[in-house]
C-alpha cells in the first residue's frame, strides 16, 4: 500500500492557535515573502477594542478596515439627519449626500413602516392525514404557547412576542412534509436569537405532543422534526419611502436638461428597470448601496437584508425594480418599497463602538425609525444614480471620486495628488489618463 503523504497546507487545530500562531502558520505555508506587519498594521489602537473585534468572529488574524462616512442634510419626515454609511465603493456617500441636499429644499423624504412582523419555520415529517390538522391544531398551539411562556414574556413586555402560526402541508417536498410558519414581533431587536430559541423550544414540545397527546392515533405519533430556524424572507416587515414635488421644481443646475425633460427621462429609466430583469438587478444593486451602508454602520445584518430585498423584488415570478416612478398631474412622485428587518438593541449594535456611535448620531432611533432611515438612503442613492444616468452619465461622477483610488494605486505623492486633482477638475478621469498625467508630471512636462 502506498505511503500516505502529509499535505503541509492542511492543519488540524487551527482554531486552537492564538492569533500570533495563526499568522505565523499562514506566513510559513501560504504567504512566503510577506511579514507579520502585513497583519498587525491594521490592529486597533486600543487593546480593549481589538479584543472586542476579535471576538466577533472565529480564526481571526487581522482587521479589515472599511471607510465610515457620513451623508448630511437628510430631511426625513421633517427631521434632519446626518446618516452614517460604511461602504468602500467610490461615489456612494457623495451621491447620497447630493441627493439629500437636493431633496432638502423640495419637501424632504417621507417614510413609513407598513408592517413589522418577522417569520420563523419549524419543518417536520408527520405520518398523519392533512385533513386532521384543523382538529389537532388548537391543542398543539396551546401546548407550544405554554411551553414557551417564559421565553416570550420579556419580549411581550416590549410589545413583541409570537403573533400567530399556521400549520402548512408541503406535498411538493414530500407527502409527509409539514411546516409551522410562525410570525413574531421583536420590538427594537432584530430578533434572530429570540426567534430561533422559541422555534427550538417548539421542536422539543411538538415531539412531546406526538408522544403523549391522547388525540393522536398510533400512526399520527410518527413525527420527526427536520429543522427549526427563522426566515430571512420578511415580506411582513416592510417600509415605504418616497419623495414628491412639482415638476417645475425638478431643475438640475448645469445639466443642460430642463425639468420636464429630466422627469420624462427619469421615469423611462425606472420603467425600464420594472420591465427588464437585466436592468433591474443593477438598478436594485444601486438601491442596496445606500441601504447596506446604513445597515453595516449600525451593526445590522446586511446579508439578511440583501437576501430579503431580492426575494421581494422577485415576488410574482419576475425580478423587478424595487422603486417606482409616477407623474400625477404636474407632480413628480418617486417611491421605494422594501422589506427590512433591523434592530437597534442587541447584537453588534452595542458591542461595536462605531455601531453604537452610529445610533447616537441618528438620535438613538427605535427599529422602525432606523428602517425609515435605511430605506430613504436607498431611495436617495437610487435617485442620484438615475439622475446621473439620464443626464451626464454615471462614469463622470464615479470616476471623479475614483481618482484618489487610482492615484493610490500609482503611488502618487501628496504634491502629485494636488496637481492631479486640479488637472482633472472638469476632465474625464480614466486609469490610463491619470497614468499618462503622472508620467508627464514626473518628467517635468505636465501643465
Q: Hey, which residues are catalytic here?
A: 89, 285, 301, 398
- Comparing C-alpha atoms, which of 226, 224, 182 is closest to residue 207? 224
Residue with cell 412576542: 161
Quote the CA–CA distance of 430 and 33 in Å, as a whole number. 32
- Comparing C-alpha atoms, which of 330, 359, 332 is closest to residue 343? 359
DSSP string, 191-228: -HHHHHHHHHHHHHHHHHHHHH-TTS-TGGG-EEEEEE
CB 328 within 8 A of CB 310: no
Quote the CA–CA distance of 154 and 255 in Å, as a whole number. 56
CB 298 within 8 A of CB 357: no
Write the CA distances from 175 to 31, 120, 267, integer angstroms: 53, 22, 48
Q: Strand locations in 263-360, DSSP E?
A: 323-328, 331-339
DSSP string, 154-204: HHHHTT-EEEEEEEEE-TTT-TTEEEEEEEEE-TTB--HHHHHHHHHHHHH
Amino acid at each position: 500500500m502506498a505511503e500516505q503523504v502529509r499535505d503541509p497546507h492542511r492543519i488540524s487545530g487551527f482554531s486552537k492557535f492564538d492569533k500570533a500562531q495563526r499568522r505565523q502558520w499562514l506566513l510559513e505555508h501560504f504567504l512566503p515573502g510577506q511579514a507579520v506587519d502585513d497583519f498587525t498594521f491594521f490592529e486597533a489602537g486600543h487593546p480593549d477594542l481589538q479584543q472586542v473585534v476579535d471576538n466577533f468572529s472565529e480564526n481571526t488574524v487581522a482587521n479589515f478596515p472599511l471607510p465610515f462616512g457620513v451623508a448630511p442634510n437628510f430631511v426625513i419626515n421633517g427631521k434632519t439627519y446626518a446618516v452614517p454609511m460604511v461602504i468602500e465603493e467610490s461615489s456612494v456617500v457623495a451621491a447620497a449626500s447630493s441627493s439629500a441636499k437636493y431633496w432638502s429644499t423640495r419637501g424632504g423624504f417621507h417614510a413609513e413602516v407598513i408592517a413589522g412582523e418577522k417569520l420563523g419555520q419549524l419543518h417536520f415529517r408527520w405520518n398523519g392525514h392533512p385533513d386532521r390538522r384543523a382538529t389537532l391544531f388548537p391543542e398543539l398551539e396551546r401546548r407550544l404557547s405554554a411551553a414557551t411562556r417564559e421565553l416570550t414574556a420579556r419580549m411581550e413586555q416590549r410589545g413583541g412576542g409570537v403573533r400567530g402560526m399556521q400549520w402548512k402541508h408541503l406535498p411538493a417536498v414530500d407527502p409527509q412534509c409539514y411546516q409551522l410558519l410562525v410570525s413574531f414581533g421583536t420590538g427594537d431587536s432584530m430578533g434572530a436569537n429570540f426567534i430561533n430559541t422559541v422555534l427550538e423550544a417548539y421542536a422539543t414540545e411538538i415531539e412531546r405532543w406526538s408522544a403523549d397527546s391522547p388525540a393522536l392515533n398510533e400512526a399520527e405519533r410518527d413525527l420527526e422534526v427536520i429543522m427549526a430556524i427563522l426566515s430571512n424572507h420578511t415580506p411582513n416587515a416592510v417600509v415605504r419611502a418616497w419623495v414628491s414635488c412639482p415638476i417645475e421644481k425638478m431643475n438640475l443646475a448645469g445639466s443642460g436638461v430642463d425639468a420636464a425633460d429630466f422627469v420624462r427621462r427619469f421615469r423611462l429609466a425606472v420603467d425600464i428597470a420594472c420591465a427588464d430583469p437585466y436592468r433591474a438587478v443593477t438598478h436594485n444593486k444601486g438601491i442596496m448601496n445606500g441601504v447596506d451602508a446604513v445597515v453595516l454602520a449600525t451593526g445590522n445584518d446586511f446579508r439578511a437584508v440583501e437576501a430579503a430585498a431580492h426575494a421581494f423584488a422577485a415576488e410574482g415570478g419576475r425580478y423587478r425594480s424595487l422603486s417606482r416612478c409616477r407623474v400625477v398631474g404636474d407632480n413628480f412622485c418617486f417611491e421605494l418599497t422594501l422589506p427590512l428587518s433591523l434592530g437597534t438593541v442587541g447584537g453588534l449594535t452595542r458591542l461595536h463602538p462605531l455601531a453604537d456611535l452610529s445610533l447616537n448620531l441618528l438620535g438613538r432611533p427605535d427599529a422602525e425609525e432606523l428602517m425609515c432611515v435605511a430605506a430613504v438612503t436607498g431611495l436617495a442613492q437610487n435617485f442620484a444614480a438615475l439622475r446621473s444616468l439620464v443626464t451626464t452619465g454615471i462614469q463622470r461622477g464615479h470616476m471623479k471620486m475614483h481618482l484618489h483610488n487610482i492615484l493610490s494605486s500609482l503611488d502618487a505623492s501628496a504634491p502629485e495628488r494636488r496637481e492631479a486633482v486640479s488637472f482633472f477638475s472638469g476632465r474625464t478621469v480614466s486609469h490610463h489618463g491619470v497614468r499618462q498625467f503622472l508620467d508627464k508630471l514626473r518628467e517635468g512636462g505636465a501643465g
